[in-house]
Structure 1
Amino acid sequence: MLARTRTKLFTATGVAAALSLAAITPALASSAPHPGAHRTVAVAATAKGDPRDITSRVADFYGSYIDSVWTTDDPTAAANRKALRHFYLSAAEQRKVTAYEAREHADGVLFAQNVPVKWSVAYTGSGAGHATALVTLTWSDGANAEVTHIKVQSDLRTRKITDLAQAD
């Protein structure tokens, strides 16, 4: 009886280990790079967020949005971008973004026709019921990488982004 219990324990442990390895192996492997890009693997020491923090929320939006724009081989990416805009942007800001895109033939969230390779978000202040953040978009790698900035204003009550403006 003891041998059977021990065998079941070893079997369960082995199955759990195999499932764990199967679950983390894809996460350890780098995904296919953007077409034409050099393959690099970046490892972040930590990533964190707080849904109550407006700056984290802006960072979540830009991270998810850029991932969706970057992903050209997934047919759900366009629908995801639309859903992200609806969720994170106020109705008025959604209209402004759409008008910008019709006028400029460029993405109204990124203010560009291409996709940045890196982004960061920094809190810049708050007052009158709003918080502001500065989004820094990096467009290439290397010492002379092009960088642009976007000033983002969010409503503290609704947590929606109410204004996007080029800061350069």
Structure 2
Amino acid sequence: MSIRVRSRRNLLTASAIAAALSLAAVTPALAGTGTAHTTRGAARAASAATAQGDPRDVTQRVADFYGSYIDSVWDNEDPAAAANAEALRAFYLSAAAQKKVAAFEAKEHADGILFAQNVPVKWKVVYTGSGAGHATSQVTLTWSDGKDAEVSKIDVQSDLKTHKITDLKQAG
């Protein structure tokens, strides 16, 4: 093989490797999962890199509901957001829970899912027990960033058969 062909092949190989490495570096950034230059950014990217769920798990369904609901009320300038929030309530909450939420909202003039007038920046759901055909979860809402961020907690009861949320109440 001549030196000219070998040099051309090496140049093409080096170019292909450089292009692949550039693409590998840019693709995660475009997807929002790239490595950030700050510790907080890196932690956020790492936590957003994976997600999973199981529609049979009532605690997972509570997490799915709160995640979707918070996304909808957060994006309040999107014309579809309010309709989506209402549709989520209708799908995830039992009829009795929907009535209880509506009564809270009429009395307190606040969101009966979040028990607040504003929208949290973070949420977490933890299984806390089950019995008598129901499972309980606790939702922790974080209202700001930083080490002294305010949090509130909501106890959520779900029916194990229907997977519907049957009760929500502020945790003490």
| TM-score (structure 2 length as normaliser) | 0.75
Write out per-residue CA displacement over residues 9-66 of structure 1, whole angstroms, 9 at most, x where no aligned residue: xxxxxxxxxxxx9x98763399xxxxxxxxx783224211100101100000000000
Question: Residues 17-96 of structure 1: matches in 2 within 5 Å?
Answer: 27-28=31-32, 42-43=44-45, 44=47, 45-96=49-100
> What is the DSSP-based 3-state SS (H/G/I as helix, E as strand, rest coil) of the residue aligned with 2:51?
coil
| Residue equivalent to 1:14 | none
Counterpart amino acid of residue 59 in structure 2: T
Segments of structure 1 that go 5 or more residues without pairing to the other structure are 1-20, 31-39
Q: 2 CA distance for matches of 1:88 and 1:73? A: 23
> What is the DSSP-based 3-state SS (H/G/I as helix, E as strand, rest coil) of the residue aligned with 1:76?
helix
| Residue equivalent to 1:124 | 128
Q: 2 CA distance for matches of 1:115 and 1:77? A: 13
| TM-score (structure 1 length as normaliser) | 0.77
| Residue equivalent to 1:155 | 159
- Structure with a larger share of its residues in helix: 2
Counterpart amino acid of residue 157 in structure 1: K
Q: Give the fraction of aligned pairs with identical amino acids, expressed as a percent.
A: 70
Q: 2 CA distance for matches of 1:96 and 1:51? A: 25
Counterpart amino acid of residue 130 in structure 2: S
| Residue equivalent to 1:108 | 112
Q: 1 CA distance for matches of 2:61 and 2:33? A: 28
How many correspondences in the alignment?
Answer: 140
Are the structure 2 counterparts of residues 146 and 91 from structure 1 closer, same or farther at C-alpha, using a change threshold of 3 Å? same
Q: 1 CA distance for matches of 2:30 and 2:65? A: 24
Per the TM alignment, residue 104 of structure 1 is displaced from its structure 2 partner at its CA by: 0.2
Q: Which has the larger radius of gyration?
A: 2
Are the structure 2 counterparts of residues 25 and 75 from structure 1 closer, same or farther at C-alpha, using a change threshold of 3 Å? farther
Segments of structure 2 that go 5 or more residues without pairing to the other structure are 1-23, 35-40
CA RMSD of aligned residues (A): 2.3
2:101 matches 1:97: yes
Counterpart amino acid of residue 76 in structure 1: A
Are the structure 2 counterparts of residues 66 and 141 from structure 1 closer, same or farther at C-alpha, using a change threshold of 3 Å? same
Find runs of 4+ consecutive structure 1 residues off by over 4 angstroms: 23-26
